[in-house]
Amino acid sequence: MTNERLDLDKPLWDLNSFTGRWKYFAWMTDFRTCVVSESALLAAKNLCEQYRLGKEPADTTREQIIYAKKLYESAFHPDTGDLQNVFGRMSFQVPGGMAITGAMLQFYRTTQAVVFWQWVNQSFNALVNYTNRNANSPITTSQLGVAYVSATVAAMITAIGCKSFWEKRANPLMAFAAVKGISQVVISRIVMCAPGMLILPPIMEKLEKYAWMQRIKPMHAPIQIMMCGISLSVMVPTACALFPQNCFIKTTTLQRWEPENYELLKKNCEGGAIPAYLYFNKGL
């Protein structure tokens, strides 16, 4: 390769700016990568590893390396390097989210439909959360189970209550957490789905009053799904770009709220200065 070598551990855009993060996540969450075969993904990972060692094939182009980097970052976990479940990848947010959100907006007239689609939605959210978790923070099976059941039950109760009170479409429930990383992820997820859940329903209600829409009732669901897809195509990278991927907290904050972990940090830093800030991957 004649061009200047890439640093595969660094992003192609400046992630300190919103514009740079938006471009990066639009590139990394490209839903077309979901249909790439597992063998092609593993080949991309292998090419990246070869490139880091300077042992890539002689005829490898810069474009091939960039595409391999794209496939690797879209399909493999940044902490473990493991291949992620395709349905839990952020690149699956557009096709998966548009189908589920469209169904939630279309099939809301019966309690059974609300319960079913809220369960599907929360199950999908749980899979996405687990797939994109910070793998350096251990979590037990029981913790996963409690979180899944709690979120699902809460969403169903809230959705049924809203349906009964407002006689409107149901919105998924998302709980805020005090932890900085989780809070930012929650805010991002709300921003991601808010336009589809809040703006599309009144648009569809307006359109459904027209005679031409009455004549194509079987197309209402596909139309809503398509509109959700358009919304998510823009909102997925927008939501992911709201906050920097690598967050930090002051060491004094850890000392105040988690003294046991602070003592562990002091032990690990024995003989050296304790850092003023601690950096971590907030997950997606």
H-only helix segments in 167-269: 180-194, 200-207, 211-214, 220-240, 251-257, 259-268
Distance separating alpha carbons of residues 98 and 225, to the nearest angstrom: 5
Helix, strand, coil % in the chain, rounded to nearest 5: 65, 5, 30
* pLDDT tens-place values along the chain, 284 residues long: 446 788 888 889 988 899 999 999 999 889 999 999 999 999 999 999 999 998 999 889 999 999 999 999 999 988 788 899 899 898 898 888 888 888 877 777 777 887 788 888 888 888 887 787 766 655 666 666 666 666 666 655 554 555 444 444 433 222 225 345 566 766 777 778 778 777 887 888 888 888 888 888 888 888 888 888 888 888 888 888 887 777 777 778 777 777 777 777 777 777 667 788 776 665 66
Distance separating alpha carbons of residues 46 and 91, to the nearest angstrom: 21
CB 51 within 8 A of CB 8: yes
In degrees to the nearest 10, what's the CA dihedral of 70, 185, 156, 158? -140
What is the reported pTM?
Answer: 0.66
Which residues on adjacent β-strands are paired with residue 247?
280
CB 71 within 8 A of CB 40: yes
Compute how many other C-beta atoms are within 10 angstroms of the C-beta atom of residue 151.
Answer: 21
Q: Can you give the pLDDT at residue 191?
A: 79
Distance separating alpha carbons of residues 54 and 65, to the nearest angstrom: 12
- Rounded to 5°, angle at Cα 162 from 156 and 143: 30
Distance separating alpha carbons of residues 229 and 70, to the nearest angstrom: 21
Distance separating alpha carbons of residues 149 and 165, to the nearest angstrom: 24
